[in-house]
A = this chain, B = another copy of it.
Amino acid sequence: MDDSQETLSLVLFSGTDDKLNAAAVLAVGAAAMERKVDILLQYWALDAFRADRVLKDHGVAPEAGPEGAAMVQRHGGQHWSETFRQARDIGVVAIHACSLSMEMLGLDREDLDPMVDDVEGVAAFMAEATGPLTFI
């Protein structure tokens, strides 16, 4: 196995803007290295990919405190959704919505941002993601 070609399999669970941004930066970094990126959206990360919520304020991790939250907002870099789009433009990046989480949140495919490729069960994701899993 050529390690440098190893797929980056990300399970995105958290729905705060700081973690989604960190995940997006890893995805674009891996795509730039010509690694495949395979993403499963669960729970609050999936909720953040709702078409009508992507650009809303999703807050930051609790330990940021008000000072940290203000710093994240002021920094005003590229939005994480734009970074994910960029990753898709330069590499092979698949974004799946977890079917269990879709059901729990009462979502349909058309509720999601178009950059989500499909709805997939965890079993199908695990069948592809036979290597390491990074949980964010």
Interface positions of A (Cβ within 8 A of B): 1, 3-4, 6, 8, 11, 13-16, 18-19, 22, 25-26, 29-30, 32-33, 35, 42-44, 47, 58-59, 61-64, 68, 71-72, 75, 77, 100, 103-106, 122-123, 125-127, 130-136
User: Are the C-beta atoms of B106 and A25 separated by less than 8 Å?
Assistant: no
Q: Is the interface of A mostly helix, strand, loop or mixed?
A: helix
Q: What is the distance, in angstroms, from A27's C-beta to the closest C-beta of chain B? A: 10
Q: How many copies does the complex hold?
A: 3
Cα of A3 to Cα of B61 in the assembled complex, Å = 34
Which listed residue, B22, B44, B75, B105, touches A103 by the CB 8 Å rule?
B75
User: Are the C-beta atoms of A22 and B8 separated by less than 8 Å?
Assistant: no
Cα of A1 to Cα of B131 in the assembled complex, Å = 11
| Cβ contacts A to B, 10 pairs, < 8 Å | A3-B131, A15-B61, A18-B43, A26-B126, A33-B126, A59-B63, A71-B106, A132-B132, A134-B134, A135-B135
Residues of B within 8 A of A104 (CB): 71-72, 75, 77
User: Are the C-beta atoms of B61 and A122 separated by less than 8 Å?
Assistant: no
Q: What is the distance, in angstroms, from A52's C-beta to the closest C-beta of chain B? A: 14
Residues of B within 8 A of A71 (CB): 104-106
